[in-house]
């Protein structure tokens, strides 16, 4: 798809807003360049939070449903953040195991715990940043602008899954991978690749659908 330079110029304010809010990089891409795969949310089943949050599978649109939704949008703001956490090569390769396994070596458990503490403390502003970008796009005449976030929602200690109703609907947003977005492939296609496997400070991606 040949980029529409005029439309890209029209959304320059959103890219600049992302950078002003602290993003490392931001780019407007055609919605058709977002890579959606059925296999992505399958990985969610191995997550310790699977089925425990209304913003994650199996409570969110399937990849097939999301493809239909995505087709109704023209452009996407792709945003990159850098986590303040430092990935230790000896720990990041099995970060969940060292973090959660009670039999994990004490030194590696300590480093894994510190990694997640630094990561969660440092990335707490990323979701609000995407909400602010959504608000900015909305106020600029994009009524269906919708933000997706990196990582699962952390608004509540325990999600209101049993009642089936989110108690923070104006703030809670869905992670891209939950609906099948392959962010590694999407970022590479956009010319702003993510280092993977993780090295140093993790690079995180989020996106904003623009109508």
Q: Which residues of 80-104 are buried (b: 16+ CB within 10 A; e: fewer)?
A: bbbbebebeeebbeebeebbeeeeb
pLDDT band of 126, cuts 50, 70, 90: very high
Write down how long the chain is. 211
> What pLDDT, in 10s, does the model give residues 176-199?
999 999 999 999 999 999 988 888
Strand ranges across the sheet with 203-210: 25-30, 75-82, 203-210, 146-148
Q: Name every residue whose Cβ is closer than 8 Å to that of residue 141 and which is 6 or more positions away in sequence.
A: none
Average pLDDT on 125-140 reads 96
Task: Record the pTM.
Answer: 0.88
The gap from C-alpha 115 to its chain's centroid, in whole angstroms, comes to 18
Least confident of 96-100, 104-108, 204-208: 96-100
């Amino acid at each position: 798809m040949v980029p529409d330079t005029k439309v890209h110029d029209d959304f320059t304010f959103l890219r600049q807003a992302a950078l002003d809010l602290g993003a490392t990089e931001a780019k407007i891409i055609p919605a058709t360049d977002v890579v959606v795969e059925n296999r992505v949310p399958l990985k969610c089943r191995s997550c310790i939070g699977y089925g425990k949050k209304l913003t994650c599978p199996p409570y969110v649109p399937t990849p097939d449903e999301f493809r239909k939704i995505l087709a109704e949008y023209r452009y996407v703001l792709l945003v990159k953040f850098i986590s303040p956490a430092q990935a230790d090569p000896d720990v990041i390769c099995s970060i969940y195991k060292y973090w959660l396994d009670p039999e994990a070596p004490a030194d590696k458990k300590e480093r894994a715990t510190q990694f997640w503490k630094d990561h969660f403390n440092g990335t707490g502003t990323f979701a609000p940043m995407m909400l602010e970008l959504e608000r900015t796009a909305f106020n600029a005449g994009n009524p269906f602008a919708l933000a997706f976030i990196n990582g699962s929602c952390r608004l509540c200690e325990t999600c209101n899954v049993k009642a089936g109703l989110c108690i923070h609907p104006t703030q809670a947003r869905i992670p891209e991978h939950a609906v099948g977005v392959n962010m590694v492939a999407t970022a590479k296609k956009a010319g702003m690749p993510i280092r993977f496997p993780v090295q140093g400070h993790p690079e995180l991606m989020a996106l904003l659908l623009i109508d």
